[in-house]
Every structure is written in C-alpha cells, then in structure tokens.
Amino acid sequence: MKKLLAAIFLVLLSIGVYQSYKPLPEGLDYSGPERSVEDAEFLSDSTYTDANGERVIEQQIFDEILTIISDARQFVLVDMFLFNSFQGALGETHRSLSSELTQALITQKHQYPELEIYVVSDPLNSIYGGLPSAHFTALEAAGIHVTLTKLPRLRDSNPIYSAWWRPFAQPFGNSEANTLPNPFGEGRVSLRSYLALLNFKANHRKLIIADNNNALLALVTSANPHDGSSAHSNVALRFGGQAAWDLLESEMAVLAFSDGPIIETGVVRSELEATEETAESGSITLQIVSERSVERALLEIINKAQAGDHIDMAAFYLSDRQVVRALRHSVARGVAVRVLLDPNKDAFGREKNGVPNRPVAHELMSAGVPVRWCATEGEQCHSKWVLYRDSQGQGAMLLGSTNFTRRNLHNLNLETSVVLRGPMSAEPLAEGEQWFDNQWHNVDGNQFSLDYATYADDSLWLRTLYRVMEATGLSTF
C-alpha cells in the first residue's frame, strides 16, 4: 500500500510540475512592435460620490464598444472574460451589459448578413459546461461564431489541485445537472462544474476589433460585459492602424488552440501595415502585450524611472512580488510614486477580507510609497493601469485586462494589455493623467478615494495568507 501511495504521489507530482511549466500554445506571451498611432483615445468608467452625497456613475467604455459594432460592415471580433447576467447577492444592476452586447451583435448581423462576427470567451460563462449560456445560444442562432477557450491547454495556476483534477475529474467532462447551486447566480449545476472552477484559470482578456471604413479599429479594456460588474470603475484605450492588426494576430492564436474558426476580416491590410515594424522617431507609439509580456513591459516602465520621474498606479489587484519590489526600489531611487488600490472588500454582494491589497498596501506604505483606497460602495475599482512620466515630459501608459498578480502576469491566464508611449502633451496620455489626478485629489468635492488609514491592516495573519495564496495559486486573484 505504501508503494502504491508513493507511486500515485509521484505521478501527481509529475503532472503538477509538467502542467505548470509545459510549453504555451503558439502565439501566446506576445510582445508586438511599437507602432505609430495617431487616433488613440483614452476612455473611462467612474463611480463616485459627488459633493452633495449623491452616487454618480459616468460611463464611456461600453457605449464606445456598441458604437464600434454599429459601424462595422465586414468583421467584428469580441473577446470578453465575463459575458453573463450573473450578479450573486449584489442588490443593484446598473446596466444589463450582457444583453446590450448580445443584442447589438445580433442586430448588426441581421442588418448586414455578410458581416462575420466572432465571439471568444471563457467557459465560466457556461459554468464550465454545467449551465448553457442563453447569450451564447442566441448568438449562435443568429449565425455568430462563439468559441469557448480550451483552458486545459493552458498552464495550471493552481497545480496543487489541478494535478488531481486532470486525471480524476477532467476525463468525465461536464453536463447539465441539478446537484448544486450556481456559484455565481440563479440556477443549479453539477458537482463537476465546481471541480472545474477550482482550477482558477481563465481567458481574462477584454477587447474588441472591428472594421471601420475598410480599416481595423480596436479597443482594449479592463471592463467586462457582465451585469454584476456594470457599476465598476474601469479604463480603456481605443485605437486603429497597425497595432489593431497586431491585436488580431494575438487573438488568432487563441482561436487556433481552442479549435475555433479561421478568421475572415474582409479588410485588406495595406502594404505599410503589413511590413512596417517600428514607429517613426518622436511619434506616439502603441504596443500590444499579452500574458507574461505584460509583466516585462510593466517592470521595464518601473525600473527605468529615476529621481525626478513619476509613477502612478491604479489597480484592482496588486500582489506580484516582482512588481511590489520594483515599486519599493523605485521610491528608494527618488521616484515619486502614488498607488490607488481597490480595498478588496466587495465581491458581488459578498464581503471580502482585503487580500491581497491590504497587506501589500502595508508593505508599500512601510517603504514610503503613498497609498490611497478607492471609495467603493459595493462596486469595484477594477482598473489595471500605470502611468510613467519622466522629467523631460515623456510618458508611458499601460492598461488592459491584466491584474498585477502572479496568475495574471506569469503565463497562466490569457491577458491583453497595451502600452502607449509618447509626450505627455499627447491627448490620451494627458487624459489618463487627469483621470488619475481627479481620483487621487477628489477634485471638485467628489469622493473617489479615501486615506490609507481607512482600510489599513498590518495583521500578520493577512500578510501570511497573502504570501501563501500568491505563491501556491490557492487563490482567486
């Protein structure tokens, strides 16, 4: 019996090690060239309390996404992580974003039958096969291609669990059942849905690409078409040109390993777009980065900052040890750093314990990094955003789907972010800077943020819990 148990342990250990470090599907961990861009636009959604104590919700992102769809005639690709109406115990739905997006795609397909529409998403929206998605069913009935990402082909972020799941649960697949309550909303699902959920991995991307006047237009964001997330604060960047083609290339890789269709855009790429590899000197540039390339770009931004430079960060989750250390070291070099964090207290009507942001905030404050909290009231401060400004007036802004955590930065989840570089006088960089300053300083009496002391927590228990969860993958962040 001891030999049998030892053999099983060695097999599971081998599975865990291999599935944690196996080769990525081709085309992931993508770092595109820096492309000249002239039409980039910074967009944001903000929820805050005004000077009269009234809750205000200002949104631009999905209004722009719906406009992009309505202007398309040949091609639309949407890749969104949360695409459902689930909201858990949350009492408020600000917008039915999942229905808005579904209806916009179906309406455009009916109006322009030759329009090719591709939807890529995460199997969480069908509770991993345990509860069919009404949205995806309607999209497919309208002739729209829907591809659910083949998550088992990615590396395992929670190998302690996944090494057991792969041989003992995965082979049995999943189907509809009435065994257990849906962990995210109404309905009931199978036990196998829960077993798949505990792998804690995702296609976490949030983007759209479409044709516009026989060219490509794209938008990368931190926002989901998810009803329970519809009041979250988020950011986005809309852009066109060569970088939009780079984004499409990175999406074709996901469709390829997920057994999805071959994309037909109907748009002819110009010779310049197909061949130019670098941007002109002095121009505003945009770079597409995915998976671990996001971390490389982020660390490059932070590590190159010197005394007199500035770094601002707004993050839903901040836990990656390399990023935390880089921020601490930058302050030691004389860089002016400001970090705005979600307090990690709300999750769709459920109360959270503040991990990972509260123990990380304590570490940053102890190192001299100023931290403020988003003043959330049930919603989340969901941005994943960084802005670097040097003493010569040049800057770099990173934003997208990627939380600053091990799971999101280390080739485990699928992620897409963009890096915009150029003079701070450029409109999208200036608008990003103003967006952050408004929240940091609570301009015009509006309350966007709170002092660090509001949610300060230096407990050894939280610090230990955060380190264990970050290192092992036994976490949802």
CATH dotted code for 41-258? 3.30.870.10
Burial of 142-152, coded b for 16+ CB within 10 Å and e otherwise, reads eebbbbbbebe
Q: What is the pLDDT of residue 279?
A: 52
Q: What is the pLDDT of residue 273?
A: 53
pLDDT tens, residue order, the chain (477 aa): 889 999 999 999 999 999 999 999 999 999 999 999 989 999 999 999 999 999 999 999 999 999 999 999 999 999 999 999 998 777 776 899 999 999 999 999 999 999 999 999 999 999 999 999 999 999 999 999 999 999 999 999 999 999 999 999 999 999 999 999 999 998 999 999 999 999 999 999 999 999 999 999 999 999 999 999 999 999 999 999 999 999 999 999 999 999 999 998 888 776 555 555 455 556 899 999 999 999 999 999 999 999 999 999 999 999 999 999 999 999 999 999 999 999 999 888 788 999 999 999 999 999 999 999 999 999 999 999 999 999 999 999 999 999 999 999 999 999 999 999 999 999 999 999 999 999 999 999 999 999 999 999 999 999 999 999 999 999 999
CA torsion angle 296 302 303 308 (round to 10): 160
pTM over 0.95: yes
Taking the domains of the chain in order of start, what are their residue ranges? 41-258, 284-472
- Which residue, 246, 247, 150, is CA-closest to 203? 150
Q: What is the pLDDT of residue 265?
A: 85
284-472, which class in CATH?
Answer: alpha beta
- The string of DSSP letters for 181-233 reads E-TTSSSEE-HHHHHHHTT---B--EEEEEEETTEEEEEEES--SBGGGTT-B
**Fold equal for 41-258 and 284-472:** yes
Alpha helices in 41-96 (DSSP H): 61-71
- Which residue, 320, 15, 25, is CA-closest to 156? 15
For residue 411, give Cα distances in angstroms to 157, 274, 415: 9, 27, 9
- The string of DSSP letters for 305-362 reads --TT-EEEEEES-B--HHHHHHHHHHHHTT-EEEEEE--S-EETTEEP--TTHHHHHH
